[in-house]
């Protein structure tokens, strides 16, 4: 027989402001202690979500994130500081929230969420908080939650705008509420919606939206208040305006298994060959004045900060700017780190018969590190 979970005297004192709320009380606080929440992504949204769930007393928090802390994260990911740069986000987040609340348990997964591990991971938790920033993972989280019968507390941010909802909520009649596919049956075309790295995000926005997301997680666990099931909350920080849209379930949408989400979102297979070139080899080609084309697929504001003199074609425009890309000579495509440029090549090779495209490995960051240490990086 398992030991009964109780709140210790120290926990009762710590959570006294919760317990003092008549509609909340010790019973709701005990539900938090018993709950297990998986936070997918420890970045802009994950930072406030993790901080507030830990502070609130969620008994077991799982963190899945394979990324490292980067200097450009610190404008909005308030869980980290300059001393954390280069460290694992998941491990650093665990250390920070345990320092805040030693009465909770934290499990770290320093891996990407994939079709191979999603069901097993999500099965172990009561609620999932989706703080991801890409469409394949959002659909994966949603479908895995539907298949495992878990509630998915969703949020996303872009520039000045954010949105929050609660998907797959278990209703009083025993049915499940709408899920992400009821809101977005089909993903946008590749490159049509830039990521935060490409399109930017107001630094305070993740804090605002992430706090709302944490609030919904707490409401779902404690049964206090009315969750955003069947509703999508929209927030515009620039104009301080809000809207709530109703979402209805679509009985025609059936989720029976996990699929290839890269393919579903129109992205080429990651196994598709992308040939690379080192920054040292690029520098040699420049010094030898060889005839090649250099293309930069970052955004214009990034190009203005620092560039290698290439032709600017943002990732969202590569598929429609094909006439600007040489067919007969070597074309080297680059971005900040090599990720977006690899995606650009996959898109181009998937749509057109290009055989002359090379990805600059490591991008501008590698060029600055190995070729020009005085170069500005961001």
CATH number of residue 145's parent domain: 3.40.50.720
What pLDDT was estimated at residue 70? 87
What pLDDT was estimated at residue 271? 44
Asked if 42 and 65 touch (Cβ cutoff 8 Å), the reply is yes
Top pLDDT among 174 and 210 is at: 210
We report the CATH number of the domain holding residue 311 as 3.40.250.10
Q: 123 by DSSP, 3-state: which?
A: helix
What pLDDT was estimated at residue 376? 84
Say yes or no: 176 and 222 in one domain: yes
- Cβ atoms within 10 Å, residue 154: 28
Task: Give mean pLDDT, residues 24-41.
Answer: 98
Nearest one of 116, 111, 115 to 40, comparing CA atoms: 111
Whether the predicted pLDDT of 196 surpasses 80: no
Which range is least confidently modeled, 123-127, 197-201, 326-330? 197-201
Say yes or no: 280 and 256 in one domain: no
Share of the chain above pLDDT 90, in %: 82
pLDDT digits (tens, 9 = 90+) for 253-296: 999 999 999 888 876 555 457 899 999 999 999 999 999 999 99
What pLDDT was estimated at residue 2? 54
Residues whose CB is less than 8 angstroms from the CB of residue 66 and which lie 6 or more positions away in sequence, other chains included: 90, 110, 111, 112
Measure CA 278 to chain center: 28
What pLDDT was estimated at residue 188? 83
Task: Give mean pLDDT, residues 69-86.
Answer: 93
Say yes or no: 184 and 234 in one domain: yes
What pLDDT was estimated at residue 147? 98
What pLDDT was estimated at residue 267? 66
pTM of the shown model? 0.80
Asked if residue 28 belongs to a domain, the reply is no
Which residues are annotated as catalytic?
Answer: 196, 335
**Which of 210, 244, 264 is the C-terminal boundary of a domain?**
264
Asked if residue 79 belongs to a domain, the reply is yes
pLDDT digits (tens, 9 = 90+) for 50-65: 999 999 999 999 999 9
The total domain count for the chain is 2
Whether the predicted pLDDT of 325 surpasses 80: yes
Helices (H), the chain: 9-14, 16-19, 25-34, 46-56, 89-100, 118-123, 135-148, 180-183, 196-199, 205-222, 261-264, 279-287, 300-305, 339-351, 363-370
Say yes or no: 303 and 162 in one domain: no
Asked if residue 66 belongs to a domain, the reply is yes
Say yes or no: 344 and 239 in one domain: no
Measure CA 111 to chain center: 13
Average pLDDT taken over every residue of the chain: 93
Say yes or no: 122 and 206 in one domain: yes
What pLDDT was estimated at residue 377? 82
Say yes or no: 160 and 217 in one domain: yes
Tokens of 166: 């609660």
Asked if residue 13 belongs to a domain, the reply is no
First to last CA, the chain: 55
Task: Give mean pLDDT, residues 73-97.
Answer: 96
pLDDT digits (tens, 9 = 90+) for 91-118: 999 999 999 999 999 999 999 999 999 9
What pLDDT was estimated at residue 192? 63
Whether the predicted pLDDT of 31 surpasses 70: yes
Asked if residue 298 belongs to a domain, the reply is yes
Residues whose CB is less than 8 angstroms from the CB of residue 147 and which lie 6 or more positions away in sequence, other chains included: 119, 255, 256, 257, 258
- Cβ atoms within 10 Å, residue 330: 15
Say yes or no: 195 and 330 in one domain: no
**Which of 229, 264, 299 is the C-terminal boundary of a domain?**
264
What pLDDT was estimated at residue 371? 95
CA distance 78 to 233: 23
**Which of 235, 264, 293 is the C-terminal boundary of a domain?**
264
Domain residues for the domain of 288 are 276-370
What pLDDT was estimated at residue 1? 43
Whether the predicted pLDDT of 193 surpasses 70: no
Nearest one of 82, 83, 81, 80 to 94, comparing CA atoms: 80
């Amino acid at each position: 027989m398992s030991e009964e979970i109780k709140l210790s005297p120290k926990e009762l004192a710590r959570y006294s402001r919760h317990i003092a709320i008549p509609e909340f009380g010790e019973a709701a606080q005990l539900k938090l202690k018993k709950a297990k929440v998986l936070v997918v992504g420890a970045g802009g949204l994950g930072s406030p979500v993790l901080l507030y769930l830990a502070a609130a007393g969620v008994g077991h928090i799982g963190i899945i994130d394979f990324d490292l802390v980067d200097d450009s994260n610190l404008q909005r990911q308030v869980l980290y500081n300059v001393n954390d740069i280069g460290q694992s986000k998941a491990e650093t987040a665990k250390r920070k929230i345990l320092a805040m609340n030693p009465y909770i348990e934290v499990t770290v997964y320093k891996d990407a969420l994939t079709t191979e591990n999603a069901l097993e991971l999500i099965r172990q938790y009561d609620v999932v908080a989706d703080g991801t920033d890409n469409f394949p993972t959002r659909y994966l989280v949603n479908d895995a939650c539907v298949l495992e019968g878990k509630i998915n507390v969703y949020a996303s941010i872009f520039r000045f705008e954010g949105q929050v909802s609660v998907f797959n909520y278990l209703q009083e009649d025993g049915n499940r509420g709408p899920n992400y596919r009821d809101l977005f049956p089909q993903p946008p075309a590749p490159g049509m919606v830039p990521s935060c790295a490409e399109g930017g995000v107001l630094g305070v926005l993740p804090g605002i939206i992430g706090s709302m997301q944490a609030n919904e997680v707490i409401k779902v666990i404690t049964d206090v208040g009315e969750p955003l099931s069947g509703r999508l909350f929209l927030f515009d920080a620039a104009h301080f305006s809000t809207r709530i849209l109703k979402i209805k379930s679509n009985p025609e949408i059936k989720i029976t298994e996990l699929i290839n989400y890269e393919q579903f979102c129109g992205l080429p297979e990651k196994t598709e060959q992308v040939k690379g070139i080192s920054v040292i080899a690029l520098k040699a080609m420049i010094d030898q004045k060889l005839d090649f084309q250099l293309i930069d697929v970052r955004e214009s504001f990034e190009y203005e900060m620092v560039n290698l003199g290439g032709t600017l074609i943002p990732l969202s425009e590569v598929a429609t700017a094909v006439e600007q890309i040489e067919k007969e000579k070597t074309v080297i495509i680059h971005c900040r780190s090599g990720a977006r440029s690899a995606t650009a090549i996959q898109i181009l090779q998937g749509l057109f018969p290009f055989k002359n495209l090379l990805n600059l490995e490591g991008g501008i960051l590698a060029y600055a590190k190995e070729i020009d240490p005085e170069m500005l990086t961001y």
